[in-house]
Amino acid sequence: MKKLLSILGVAAAMVIGNITARAADKEINLFAWSEYVPQEVIDGFTKETGVKVNYETYASNEEMLAKLKSGAVKYDLIQPSEYTIEQLVKEGALEELDQSKLSNAKNILPEFQKMPHDPEQKYTVPWMAGTVGIVVNTDKVKDEITGYKDVFQEKYKGRIVALNDNREIASWALNTLGIGCNDFSDENLEKIKPLISEWMPLVKAFDSDSPKTALQNGDVDLGIVWSGEAALCYKADKKFKFILPKEGAHMFIDSLAIPKGAPNKEGAMAFMNYILRPEVSKLISEKFPYTNPNGEARKLLAKEDMENPASFPQGQPKLDTFRAVEDDVITKVDKLVSDLRSGV
């Protein structure tokens, strides 16, 4: 009898295990930037595959990393930026992709393949690229704005929105002083301290989720924001002008990646391949008009979208990508900017 119960117990455990496995196969946990993944894309993927997408959002790479490393939730897909990808690759924290299941990867433009953060294209699929630049409401601001110093003036106090991102803010100060945006030596941190201290009290709102809202509502008249947010402002009203700072700006590349130990790697791969379809990638661009790395999707975009100066900047702007730096350096940067923002 004991043997029979034991056999039944094992069988029950196997059934429960199989049910759990099947349930896991039918959903993926996506941890991504807010205001970045259209609901229509999620719904379309679920309708086609039967796989539910649980979409959780974050406002900074640092927030994403902290939660990922805590292990509180097992994610199948994350959407890190270039320097965070570089760090995760070095730490062995990403799964290698099965290229045989990425038939639509051929649509990615050559300039967005094998970039420094993933030189062998083993771990990531690009989602969108973009820049960080200045948006000006030209109905309210009549002076010429060309760079960071033009924005952070006393006369614009209480009229500025800025990204809620300490590394971004520090990079603006570095660029203003003619220093590379990744050079966070102790000496350089001391150099930028007075500048950030001067700038922070002038800002009315720090917002990385939807900085366009304050601009469109008329709560502020200018700001430093993600290019996709600037593009939406421009699409809504041509009074919003987009400027890439003359001192230099950050070009980011956000990609999809699979964390080590993801419960549903197959579902994650399917989602990656799905968003690389031209018609799906086009939909992402229309909802969130960043710089689309999908060459076939660009062919489907309307002429006015391709001519949006925030989505596809013209000329030869000075752009740099962020590179991975040591954790203790990021801690120093974060503390420096946080203290200056709080008036410490």
pLDDT (tens digit, 9 = 90+) per residue, 30-71?
A: 999 999 999 999 999 999 999 999 999 999 999 999 999 998
Question: For residue range 194-239, what is the model confidence (pLDDT) as tens digits?
Answer: 999 999 999 999 999 999 999 999 999 999 999 999 999 999 999 9
What mean pLDDT is predicted for residues 241-265? 96
Yes or no: say if 207 and 163 are a contact pair by the CB < 8 Å rule: yes
According to the 3-state scheme, what is the secondary structure of 159-197? CEEECCCHHHHHHHHHHHCCCCCCCCCHHHHHHHHHHHH
Angle, helix 278-287 to helix 39-49, in steps of 10 degrees: 150
% of the chain surpassing 90 pLDDT:
89
C-alpha distances (whole Å) from 42 to each of 30, 63, 127, 232 are: 10, 23, 14, 21
Query: Cα separation of 9 and 227, whole Å?
Result: 57
- pLDDT (tens digit, 9 = 90+) per residue, 64-105? 999 999 988 899 999 999 999 999 999 999 999 999 999 999
pLDDT tens for residues 121-180?
Answer: 999 999 999 999 999 999 999 999 999 999 999 999 999 999 999 999 999 999 999 999
pLDDT given for residue 314 in this prediction: 85
CATH 3.30.365.10 is the classification of domain 131-251+313-341: no
Q: Do domains 2-129+253-306 and 131-251+313-341 have the same CATH topology?
A: yes
* Distance in Å from the first CA to the final CA of the chain: 72
In DSSP terms, which residues pair with 126 in a beta bridge? 255
Q: What is the pLDDT of residue 274?
A: 98
Closest CA to 130 of 218, 40, 231: 231
Q: Which CATH number is associated with domain 2-129+253-306?
A: 3.40.190.10
pLDDT at 315 over 80: no
Average pLDDT score, the chain: 92
Residue 12, pLDDT > 60, answer no
How far is 151 from 143, CA to CA, in rounded Å? 10
* pLDDT score, position 72: 86
Q: What are the domain boundaries of the chain?
A: 2-129+253-306, 131-251+313-341
**What pLDDT sits at residue 150?**
98
**pLDDT of res. 328:** 94
